[in-house]
Amino acid sequence: MRSASKILVMLLVAAMVIGVVVVEAGSPQIRPLTEQEKAELGANMEVQVLYTNLTTTTTNTAQTLTMNVQAKYGVKLAAMMLKKAFDTSNTNFTGSLAVKVGDGDDDDKYLTSTELASDGTEVWMKFGETTGSVYTAADTVDFIFTPNAAEAVGSNTVGEVRFYLRILDAAKR
């Protein structure tokens, strides 16, 4: 049986081989997809964000998780899938947690604002924009989580969302 440390090392090596690394304290999990998942989803990478990855405790403040992308890489968001709606368990008002995915040039290039909270009208699945981007210089893909005005993203006590990306290295093709 593989130890947890061996699995973590394997995931990090796999992420570096395809040229992306999430660089954030409490980072979301990233993993290359299996051949069957690739065929089914039209993607080759999964980024999983749990409520525990959202740590900002300032009310009405967005938190951005980033994923580095090297020059000459192409990125496309195939889909976002909400596995478990986010919730703060506060019953005093209607909660909200919106996410958008973009980069330094366009903060919603890959995914426009999408509700993830169970108090709102949560969106269980949404396909990414139809076009991708090829980066001529190193950049980041930004996952921006924004709470409602009365809460902090770090107040969530439940929630899981997965992003399925297709990332290609132009230099290898």
Of the pLDDT bands very low, low, confident and very high (cuts 50, 70, 90), residue 168 is very high
pLDDT given for residue 10 in this prediction: 41
Residue span of the structural domain in which 81 resides: 4-172
Tens digit of each residue's pLDDT (9 = 90 or more) over 87-105: 998 888 888 999 999 999 9
**54 near 117, Cβ under 8 Å?**
no
The dihedral built from the CA positions of residue 149, 160, 51 and 135, taken in this order, carries a sign that is negative
The per-residue pLDDT of the chain, averaged, comes to: 86
**91 near 168, Cβ under 8 Å?**
no
pLDDT given for residue 52 in this prediction: 97
pTM value?
A: 0.84
Of the pLDDT bands very low, low, confident and very high (cuts 50, 70, 90), residue 1 is very low
Q: What is the mean pLDDT of residues 119-131?
A: 89
Of the pLDDT bands very low, low, confident and very high (cuts 50, 70, 90), residue 11 is very low
Domain count, the chain: 1
